[in-house]
Amino acid sequence: MGEFNITGGHKLHGELKILGAKNSILPILAGTILNKGESIISNVPRLSDTFIALEILEHLDCTYTFEKDILIINSSNVSNNVIPIDLVQKMRSSIIFLGSLISLFGYCKICYPGGCKLGKRPIDLHLDNLKKLGVTILEVDDILICTANKIIGADLNLTFPSVGATENLILASVFCLGETNIINPAKEPEIIDLVHFLNSMGCNIQGVGTNCITIKGVSSLYNCEHKVVSDRIVAGTYLVAAAITDGSILLDNVNISYLQSTLDVLNQLGYYIRSYEKDNKVFITTQNKKLSLPLLETKPYPGFPTDMQSQFMALLCVSNGVSTIKETLFESRNMNVSELNKLGANIIIGENQTSIITGVNNLVGNTVYAKDLRGGASLIIAGLVASGVTTVKNSEHIERGYEDITRDLTILNGNITYSN
């Protein structure tokens, strides 16, 4: 339960390298059990969520070494197929191990991940489609007991392009009889990265990033090496942090095409962006326009990402004019509104997950509370321009998705400290 203290008024400038993506390493770690061998993975972020996933792998009798950003997993002795309740409750995305375990053992016992601050977070799309693959699912007091003699490839039509469901169904189908076609899958870059990883160990998966992913069942897999794709949400967070401080920064090790929807919004807001595609770099500077946005609506990839909504909300707090954000993926991704208003922002929560933001001339430092990962990041962003000191409590939310936000913002000339 640490806290960040940010002293506002420092323009960000400098250069920073972006690390691997949280939402990529988590499903990849679930996939490392499939080859019952060695996976050498680089560009791995040292996040609290990474270490929870590694705890699960140890529980499944895997071993690992983790030096700097190089993670070597050995799953030769993977045997256990039960995920402890306490680990699922620590990280709801542990549900992603279900697909791998059912693939490998034809059995998995795991508890419902339950909801979180963002909303109910149901897993009906995961379970309904696993059943179409031949999985029997028994629910006893929120415990899921999943069994399958063999995974039978099938045509699966997702009614919503769920990221987690797409990942789980891919992982469940790698050894299937015949082939599985997932229609209307999620197209997020982290799924493309997962498929690159799985194909590097011998899986046969085509069509990722399109409207139909085809997984042809294989019988055996082998050792592999993979570099995790860079984190487009961490990169976007720091671009918005530079924008709000009227700063100029250069980010390295980014994938420009994966950042495009974020860059488009920054352009609409009047910021100057230079993308160096071949060098994987992006530069941003201000033109002091502080434009507002009539409507910013979150959508599945390649639309504007829900994971960037909170960060842009902070930026729009100090724009000229009135902006509206509409959150369409989660029922309650606006817990940061009350905290931003404590800093002097003027945000009203409207109907159907809309937030109406009337720009103010300045924000004033205060003590605020992170309630979720990206909402917490938005409070730090606001603190960079609030007068005086802003204290952001409940740092553990933010540490789930940012390896060391204090180090990174300090490199970029931000005035931020962390204390336990």
Q: Residues with catalytic annotation?
A: 116
CB-wise, 119 or 270, nearer to ligand EPZ?
A: 119
CB-wise, 121 or 227, nearer to ligand EPZ?
A: 121
Q: Which of 205, 206, 203, 199 is nearest to 220 (CA)?
A: 203
d(CA 51, CA 59): 12
CB-wise, 52 or 382, nearer to ligand EPZ?
A: 52
Residue holding tokens 């339950």? 114
CB-wise, 31 or 164, nearer to ligand EPZ?
A: 164
Angle between helices 309-316 and 373-383 (to 10 degrees): 30
**CB of 23 vs ligand EPZ, minimal distance in Å:** 3
Binding site for ligand EPZ (CB under 6 A): 22-23, 26, 93, 119, 121-126, 160, 162-165, 186, 188, 306-307, 329-330, 373-374, 401
**CB of 327 vs ligand EPZ, minimal distance in Å:** 10
Amino acid at 72: I
Distance of CA 190 to the CA centre of its chain: 8
Report cis status (omega within 30 of 0) of the bond before 302.
Answer: yes
Q: How many helices (H) and strands (E) does the chain have?
A: 14, 23
**CB of 9 vs ligand EPZ, minimal distance in Å:** 28
CB-wise, 175 or 330, nearer to ligand EPZ?
A: 330
246 with 269: CB under 8 angstroms? no
Q: Which residue is nearest to ligand EPZ (CB)?
A: 164
For residue 250, what are its two tokens? 């250069």
CA atoms within 13 Å, Cβ hemisphere of 70:
5
Gyration radius of the chain over CA positions: 21
**CB of 160 vs ligand EPZ, minimal distance in Å:** 5
**CB of 187 vs ligand EPZ, minimal distance in Å:** 10
d(CA 388, CA 386): 6
d(CA 420, CA 412): 23
